[in-house]
Amino acid sequence: MIQRIQTLYLFLAFLLSISLVFLFNLKIDIGGEQFTGLDLLGQEDLILKLIPILFIVSGVLSLISILSFKNRKNQFVINRLNILANLTILGVLIYFLLIATPLPSENLSSGKGIGTFIPLVVIILLVMANKAIQKDENLIKSVDRLR
């Protein structure tokens, strides 16, 4: 339902996964260029194509979780799968950051693209949503015991 706090967390995770990753740089340097998620779909490397696809999968899983509000256990499992997808994205992004990072003696900017931190924020939002879902589930169980 819309008025539950986990719906807000899941909607923010959906927005971050679907829209913002295609706007901000991911700081993946290939030939000195930085790419957004949309630019990576045109790359030849399969792992680079996997990054925006996993972001879309993460957003779709968040949307499915929002729509399955009547089944809290199912919602909890979908959020865990979404956390695994975001951990995979984070691992791939860190892998490319470590490969593309210049040596410390070089005077290049060491700033990371803000898009690199999106999976971490999404994971935090999903964990907070899972805590709220578990809280609702415990509340329902306690009410059932009183009947």
Give domain limits for the chain. Answer: 5-146
Between residues 26 and 107, the one the model is more confident about: 26
Of 144 and 137, which is predicted with more confidence?
137
CA distance readout (Å), 94 to 77, 90, 97, 115: 26, 6, 5, 12
Between 35 and 23, name the one with better pLDDT.
23
In this prediction, residue 121 carries a pLDDT of 92
- Which pLDDT score, from 0 to 100, does residue 103 have? 47
pLDDT classification of 83: cutoffs 50, 70, 90: very high
Q: Is the pLDDT of residue 46 over 80?
A: no
pLDDT of 145 higher than 80: no
Region 113-119 average pLDDT:
75
Distance linking the first and last C-alpha atoms of the chain? 24
At 137 the pLDDT is 87
Pick the closest to residue 120 from 88, 74, 75 (CA basis): 88
Please compute the mean of the pLDDT values over residues 131-135 and round it to a whole number. Answer: 92
Q: pLDDT tens digits, residue range 15-33?
A: 988 886 777 666 665 566 6
